[in-house]
Amino acid sequence: MLELVLGPSRGILSRAGGRRHETGSGTPVRAEVAAGRVPTCRARPAGTTGAVDADGRRRQTGSMAGGADGSADGRAGRPAGALGGHVAYHGYDLRGGTPGVHRGLPSPYLTFIVTFGEPLTMRAPDGTLVRRDVAIGGLHTTPESIVHDGRQSGLHVVLDPLAARALLGRPAAELAGVTVDGDAVLGALARELHERVEEADGWAGRFAAIDDVLHRALDGARGTAARPVAPEVREAWRRVVRSGGTVPVRALADEVGWSERHLGQRFRAEVGVAPKVAGRMARFDRARRRLAARAAAGAPLGLADIAADGGYADQAHLTREFGALAGCSPTRWIAEEIGNIQDPVMPGETS
């Protein structure tokens, strides 16, 4: 399991060997990984919980994770124009807390992190470090450990996998299971984005910088001959997400008019995981978010209810899934993470 430390060298870090591999703009990342030329890593940022104000602010009160009093400011940004429905923004700025470890959990969305202040620094099992100002990660099915020194600041862009071709110039499958430097995917646009976010005066300026850069990335993709996402794959993905992962694969295949095998092949080639795995991730993500909302509100966790409503056989089934995907039980996750839980609005949702 990787750990992240807030803290600039660039590259992709191996989970096993810890070697750093430099990549250039436009590299077909997934093909490089498959060929063994690029070792892999995964990463997720920490954030905050709390209700959203009218201005998009998420407020957290009391102590931060680890028991020390500190400030935690989170903002939910609203993408403009053509980006709406495909991405969601969440800004986080945690200061003065006790250094600790945060679990980054699987979800059915790609993650795009732009830091300000200190970069993200990843630590592999052998202790090798790699720091990133901008990081882009695909779908992953294992938890990540994020070690922070009490200060975490950045913008989390939650990206619909089906928008990866339009915004990143490649299918989400090329990023499945890995996190890469932003400039390996977006080149100079990623470097410009970090500089503008770093220099921006407040959240409005940071969100405006992301809007501008992503709209330009979108315009650039429109000028290429990128293959569009198949309508059948798009509909199957939407059904998986909207249902919270409760629609059987056979039903998905029947709805789009494909065989289960063909759907699995085309779906995996686009998003990087099979429909059944995507459903598992969506189901877990919905349960995790409901659990986080109840904990943040001080309400009873109601694990049996969450399990029943989320398509799990029973509470024991939910607990096993937490063990597999989060590396701990639901109650332990809440106990460890209540000060670090990031629960941003998802693409297409309103706060």
pLDDT tens-digit profile of 59-98? 443 333 434 456 778 788 889 888 988 999 999 887 877 7
The pLDDT of residue 8 is above 70: no
Q: How does pLDDT run across 156-183, given as a tens digit for each residue?
A: 999 999 999 999 999 999 999 888 899 9
Query: Is 120 in contact with 254 (CB distance < 8 Å)?
Result: no
Specify the residue for token string 């991405």. Answer: 87
120: confidence class by pLDDT, cuts 50, 70, 90 = confident
Q: E strand or H helix at 34, and its extent?
A: helix 29-34
Q: How does pLDDT run across 251-279, given as a tens digit for each residue?
A: 999 999 999 999 999 999 999 999 999 99
The pLDDT of residue 288 is above 90: yes
Higher pLDDT, 8 or 280: 280
From its phi and psi, is residue 85 left (phi > 0), alpha (psi between -120 and 50) or beta? left
Query: Is 106 in contact with 179 (CB distance < 8 Å)?
Result: no
CA-to-CA separations, 312 to 43, 141, 173, 317, in angstroms, rounded: 27, 18, 27, 6
143: confidence class by pLDDT, cuts 50, 70, 90 = confident
> In this predicted structure, what is the pLDDT of residue 349?
60
The pLDDT of residue 223 is above 50: yes
282: confidence class by pLDDT, cuts 50, 70, 90 = very high
SS (H, E, C) 39-106: CCCCCCCCCCCCCECCCCEEECCCECCCCCECEEEEEEECCCHHHCCCEEEEEEEEECCCCEEEEECC
| Amino acid at the residue 328 | C
Q: Give the SS3 label for residue 134.
A: strand
57: confidence class by pLDDT, cuts 50, 70, 90 = very low
> In this predicted structure, what is the pLDDT of residue 73?
81
d(CA 177, CA 116): 25
pTM of the model: 0.76
d(CA 269, CA 272): 6
Question: Taking CA 92 as the corner, what is the angle to CA 126 and CA 348, rounded to the nearest 5 degrees?
Answer: 105
